[in-house]
Amino acid sequence: MNNSTDILLIYPRPSDTSPEKAPALSIFYPGAYLEEQGLNVEYVDLRFDSMGYMWGKIVNSPLVIGISTMTGTQLKEAIQIARAIKDNSPRLPIVFGGIHPSLLPQQTIQADYIDYVIEGEGEKPLLNLVLYLKGETRNPYIKGVHSKECNAYFHPESDSYLLGNDHPFPLTEKTKRYYAIANQHNHVRHLESRGCVYNCRYCYNKGFNNGTYREIPIEKWDKEVHLLREHFGDSLTHLSLGDNIGSKQRFRDVFGVLWANYLKGFLSLRCDFIDEEISSLIDPVWVDHILFGAESGSDRVLKDVLGKYKSKQVIIDCARLMNKTKVRTTYTFMCGVPGETKEDFRESLDLARIIYKIDKRSGITFFVFTPYPGCDLYTEAIKNGFKEPETLEAWERVSRTNNKYKSYNNMYFLSGLAWMGRKGHKTSQNFKGIARLKILWLEILARIRIRFKWLNCFGIENGLAQRIITKQAIHNERLQ
- The C-alpha atoms of residue 9 and residue 35 are separated, in whole angstroms, by 12
Percent of the chain with pLDDT over 70: 95
- Span 410-440, pLDDT tens digits: 888 889 889 988 887 878 878 888 989 999 9
408: part of which helix (H) or strand (E)? helix 406-419
What is the mean pLDDT of the segment spanning 90-103?
94
Provide the pLDDT for residue 133: 95
DSSP assignments along 439-450, one per residue: HHHHHHHHHHHH
- The C-alpha atoms of residue 477 and residue 104 are separated, in whole angstroms, by 34
Provide the pLDDT for residue 60: 86
Burial 275-296 (b: 16+ CB within 10 A, else e): eeebbeebeeebbbbbbbbbbb
pLDDT for residue 176 is more than 60: yes
Contact 62, 8 (CB under 8 A): yes
Residue 26 makes CB contacts below 8 A (sequence gap 6+) with 11, 68, 97, 98, 122
Give the other-Cβ count within 10 Å of 221's Cβ: 21
Average pLDDT score, the chain: 90
- Span 294-303, pLDDT tens digits: 999 999 999 9
The closest alpha carbon to 124, from 169, 157, 96, belongs to 157
Provide the pLDDT for residue 475: 81
85 exposure class (CB count in 10 Å sphere: 0-12, 13-18, 19+): buried
For the ranges 85-99, 183-197, 306-320, 396-410, the lowest mean pLDDT is seen at 396-410
111 exposure class (CB count in 10 Å sphere: 0-12, 13-18, 19+): buried
Residue 237 makes CB contacts below 8 A (sequence gap 6+) with 186, 262, 263, 264
Percent of the chain with pLDDT over 90: 63
What is the mean pLDDT of the segment spanning 67-77?
93
What is the mean pLDDT of the segment spanning 103-108?
92
The closest alpha carbon to 422, from 479, 468, 471, 355, belongs to 355
pLDDT for residue 1 is more than 60: no
More confident residue, 157 or 100: 100
Q: CA triplet 347, 348, 354: central angle to 5 degrees?
A: 90
* Confidence class for position 93, pLDDT limits 50, 70, 90: very high
What is the mean pLDDT of the segment spanning 166-178?
96
- HSE-CB at 12 with a 13 A cutoff on CA atoms is 23
Q: Which amino acid is at 190?
A: H
- Span 117-149, pLDDT tens digits: 999 899 999 999 999 999 999 888 888 899 987
* Confidence class for position 385, pLDDT limits 50, 70, 90: confident
pLDDT for residue 154 is more than 70: no
More confident residue, 309 or 406: 309
- The C-alpha atoms of residue 398 and residue 92 are separated, in whole angstroms, by 29
Q: What are the C-alpha distances in Å from 135 to residues 30, 76, 144? A: 20, 32, 19
- Span 259-300, pLDDT tens digits: 999 999 999 999 999 999 999 999 998 899 999 999 999 999
- The C-alpha atoms of residue 308 and residue 296 are separated, in whole angstroms, by 10
User: pTM higher than 0.85, yes or no?
Assistant: yes
Provide the pLDDT for residue 452: 87
What is the mean pLDDT of the segment spanning 312-324?
97
Contact 289, 22 (CB under 8 A): no
What is the mean pLDDT of the segment spanning 82-103?
95
Contact 14, 74 (CB under 8 A): yes
Provide the pLDDT for residue 400: 57
- The C-alpha atoms of residue 317 and residue 278 are separated, in whole angstroms, by 13
* Confidence class for position 18, pLDDT limits 50, 70, 90: low
* Confidence class for position 365, pLDDT limits 50, 70, 90: very high
